[in-house]
Chains A and B, each alone.
Chain A
Amino acid sequence: MAKYILKRIVRSLITVSIVFFVVFMPLRFMPLNGYFPDEMIKETDEATRMTYLRNLGLLDHPLIQLGRFVKNLFRGDLGRSITVYAKVPIATLLVEKIPVTAFLGFWSMLLGIVAGLAMGLMMVRFKDKLGDTLGNGYIMIVRAVPSLIYLFFIQIWVSKWFNLPLVYYDYKPLSWILPIVSLSLSSVAWYALWLRRFMVDEENQDYVKFATVKGLSKKAVLKKHVFRNAIIPLSAYLPSDLLNIISGSLVIETLYAIPGTGGLLTTAIKEQDNPLVQVLVLMYAVVSIFGVFFGDLLLAFVDPRIKLTED
């Protein structure tokens, strides 16, 4: 077990490094003009701009830049943003933005799990009846319609019906409701869909027939036997979900003007803010790759039938 964990950690670190390298190198071949704020191109001459780039270290060989970044990383220095938030240390930026996104993300994750599992249970309890049809309709809409469209209509219409604020204010808890609900919509559908599928699969197992023959009511069989076995495979996704609350949603944070991390990566890539892109890609890669790893560990922990060994 310990050997397996060690091996997985080493392999995850290798994957993270490769991902980082794959993003790092192409960024060095972007056109040089992209590194300047607009006013700088108008006001300064060629020589000043070159000195500016040299001072930032952007004219060095890409491998030297890579070495410098890694060295600074181990000293705890993430570097400074160039264009998006010019000259602000990236660590400060993240400390400011992550709590906002993580707060909303955490509540939406909880809502997603509770509502999703409840919906999945309802769909199994009333299989092939109204409850099931409604649940399937909801899942179909959330998964088939582009999220931007329904999120936009929720912002415009639902805020009007319930008289909720249209954008996010950090001092007004009422304005947090719509972003949290919007964030959870797809995970509700996801949990409901898979819980239903796993529970329907479990229902054909021998132990369920045995429990029914023992005289347990349908409700008790579902709750005590089927549900408990069906959520085991779902638990593998919990660590990923928990870690991913820091990444946020671009669409929702843009619609509600939330000052979080959601659109940061895309903006940084578009404005060619290399240091910021690097840090964010590194962070998201660590989060997603280790999320899967922790998920496997949790699965082995909750289900004693699963053994983690090298195959």
Chain B
Amino acid sequence: MNRSEHKLCSFPKSLVRNQDLFAPAPFNAAESEKTGASNYSYWKSTLRTFFKSKAVVALVVLVCGIILMSFLYPVFSSVDPTKVSTDRQDWNLRPSLTHLFGTDGLGRDIFARAWYGCRNSFLLAFCIALSDVGIGMIMGALWGYNKKLDPIMIEIYNIMTNVPSTVYLVLLAYIMNTSYLTLFISMASRGWIVEARFFRNRILSIRDSEYNIASQCLGTPMRRIATRNIIPHIINLIIMEAALCIPYSIGSEVFLGFVGVGMPVDAITLGNMVNHGRGSFTLHPYQMLLPAAVLCIITVAFYVIGNKFADASDPRNHV
């Protein structure tokens, strides 16, 4: 008790003594009107946090390189990925300088096929990501904002996720032939509802969060709340979901090829290459290992980038 009293007494004394060190500031009208907002920018902080890790930078460079290469190789290379050789000597060649990934059972160059396959798989995956996330976000926003839609949408969700996708894949394959379009339609017709539910949940929780309720009470117009408080929180989710959609759709393509309802046999995709290579694995392991390695690098890279971006877009990690 005594000690604290002593402290309390001594405090003003030292204050008085130190007052000589301070000079009174003149009153400045303009300065006194200045508000104290920091120059925090959400996107700058997100990107800074995202690129802080060297591994992420390396992955982004790698993915950009693979995408560039897969679109440039078919333009600049003269190697025909479908050229079948009748000469037995060209079949099943081990990887060498002329054929970097070797050749397959018909003498086709696997290196060239891998890049064509990457391009085709990427195009398919990008289209699916675009439609899933695009439609899913719009439907999710409507679903989240309209309570009346809720029972209907939940019912649609339950139905769509319970009808096996092979049913309409096979049906579509009867109507049109199996092609990129059938595969796209059958995968995209189901993917959007899952994304819609995800966005609906996020939009609901953002809309009902306290700062938005406070904003509404203060009379902020809905348009401003939507553009300033809701959409910025959704954009990072869109990027994340689109990134995660790519490994998912490449994986589905591999699976459907395995089931035998995927792409036509002569289409060059990574999924088809892996499934073909599986048949000759015991004799010529490189025919599966190399395309599978390319495929895994792509899916893992997109998965990691999607997740790291999700972490970086969380303002709690912006320190």
Interface residues of A, Cβ cutoff 8 Å to B:
15, 18-19, 22-23, 26-27, 29-31, 140-141, 143-149, 152, 156, 250-251, 254, 265-266, 269-270, 277, 281, 284-285, 288-289
Contacts and interface: CB of A to CB of B under 8 A. Distances in A.
A48 to B, nearest CB: 24
Contacts of B161: 288
Contacts of B42: none
A277 B251 CA distance: 25
A147 B255 CA distance: 8
Interface string B247-259: 1001100110011
B290 to A, nearest CB: 12
Given A19-B159, A31-B174, A265 B164 contact: yes
Interface in B231-259: 247, 250-251, 254-255, 258-259
Which 7 pairs from chain A and chain B are nearest by CB?
Answer: A144-B303, A146-B251, A146-B254, A144-B300, A19-B162, A15-B158, A144-B299
Contacts of A288: 161-162
Interface string B159-186: 1011110111011001000000000000
B303 A281 contact: no
A30 B300 contact: no
A146 B295 contact: yes
B158 A146 contact: no
B164 A281 contact: yes
B164 A18 contact: no
A148 B274 contact: yes
A149 B295 contact: yes
Contacts of A156: 281
A26 B168 contact: yes
B319 to A, nearest CB: 15
A148 B296 CA distance: 11
B259 A250 contact: yes
Interface in B283-318: 292, 295-296, 299-300, 302-304
A148 B258 contact: yes
Given A144-B302, A149-B274, A250-B259, 18 more contacts: A15-B155, A19-B162, A19-B163, A27-B167, A140-B304, A141-B300, A143-B303, A144-B300, A145-B251, A148-B274, A265-B164, A266-B166, A266-B259, A269-B164, A270-B261, A277-B167, A284-B162, A289-B162
A18 B158 CA distance: 10
Contacts of B247: 144
B260 interface: yes
B314 to A, nearest CB: 13
B190 interface: no
Contacts of B260: 270
A26 B167 contact: yes
Contacts of A284: 162, 164
B202 interface: no
Contacts of A146: 250-251, 254-255, 271, 274, 295, 299
A265 B304 contact: no
A288 B159 CA distance: 11
A29 B251 CA distance: 30
A275 B131 CA distance: 34
B278 interface: yes
Nearest to A156: B281
Interface string B179-207: 00000000000000000000000000000
